Amino acid sequence: MTEQYGEPAIPITAEEYTAFRELFYRKTGIYFDDGRRYFVDRRLVACIREAGFTGFRGWYDVLRHGHPELMEAVINAMTVNETWFYREEYQFQALSQHILPEVLSRKKAGAPLRIWSIPCASGEEPYSIAMWLLENWPALNDVDIEIIASDIDTAMLQAAAAGVYTARAVHALPAEVRARYFAAQDDSGHYVLDQDVRDCVRFMPINVTDPDSVRQVGQVDVIFCRNLLIYFDEVSRRLAADHLFEVLAPGGYICLGHSESMSRISPLFRARRLGEVIVYQKPSGEG
Ligand SMILES: C[S@@+](CC[C@H](N)C(=O)[O-])C[C@H]1O[C@@H](n2cnc3c(N)ncnc32)[C@H](O)[C@@H]1O
């Protein structure tokens, strides 16, 4: 590691990198292979400096003995949070056309319908669900619907709650949808999401690899778990699938990212083709 901005370099040895990645893997399910060394080292050095340490060892000893603030800071630094509004929009189509009508048909009248977006990163996905339903699902007026959004990265959850977005984040939205739900923020080039849409989503920090953490969400009818499992190894994927299965209502659905497949991870779910989309259903136990 070279010196930056005149500050002394903080070297990270191969053994230190390995020790850190094992600890980080146990905590988050995310496994950094050797090819990620440069990415991880740069962020590690920034975390060590920000926490006021001058070397890896002192920082790591505090971290591994359980220091929630240091752990939170390093998790926030290491996660990859890329997302945008109306990403993989065809799944929202499947939600309003197939999934919600089916789930509703099994629910007692008046019972709330709960949709969970995990991981939500900076909020584009759960807010997209809210906007999509406002735009495309007239039944919304008659249903008590709750959208919960979670991520392990607490800085992302704060950004999500603030509801201010870059042009890149809104690039895939139809112009009329963007105009309806966003206002330009001064001359910053940013867009501020309408308070009514922000009020549709409840954010809570949850780590999908920790069963106690996942249970805090309670039972949900639909889960969007997109573009998370790609960062996990097989063991963490299976753990996450087990935890999500547990909180999903019988007959409930889980939507994954387009490059992710539950069939390769867990036999618990039934793959269903709804129009162009493959989604995964928890058996309802009704034959
Ligand atoms: C690429 S974003 C996906 C966002 C959104 N679902 C999408 O598809 O656009 C991946 C997110 O997973 C979160 N994440 C990583 N490990 C996690 C874990 N163990 N539990 C919950 N969220 C996690 C990261 O913080 C990051 O915000």
125-136 pLDDT, tens digit per residue, is 999 999 999 999
User: What is the pLDDT averaged over residues 137-148?
Assistant: 95
Q: Where are the alpha helices (DSSP H) in the chain?
A: 14-28, 37-50, 56-64, 68-78, 90-94, 100-106, 124-136, 154-162, 175-181, 195-198, 211-215, 234-247
Ligand 1 lined by 82 (C-beta under 6 Å): yes
Mutate to test the pocket of ligand 1, among 148, 228, 258 (most ligand atoms within 8 A of CB): 228
Looking at the chain, the domain(s) classified CATH 3.40.50.150 span: 89-282
Nearest residue (CA) to ligand 1, atom 20: 207
Tell which residue, 119, 284, 122, has the closest CA to residue 213: 119
More confident residue, 37 or 8: 37
Which residue bears the tokens 């618990």? 268
- CATH 1.10.155 is held by the domain 14-78: yes
Tell which residue, 253, 287, 258, has the closest CA to residue 97: 253
What rounded mean pLDDT belongs to the chain? 95
Looking at the chain, the domain(s) classified CATH 1.10.155 span: 14-78
Whole-number pLDDT of residue 187 = 84
Alpha carbons 201 and 203: distance in angstroms, whole number: 6
User: What is the pLDDT averaged over residues 27-34?
Assistant: 95
Six-digit token pair at 115?
């949709």
* Domain 89-282, CATH number (from 3.40.50.150, 3.40.50.2020, 3.40.50.300, 3.40.309.10): 3.40.50.150
Whole-number pLDDT of residue 196 = 97
Whole-number pLDDT of residue 95 = 97
Q: For strand 113-117 and strand 145-151, is the pairing parallel, antiparallel, or unpaired?
A: parallel
Whole-number pLDDT of residue 109 = 87
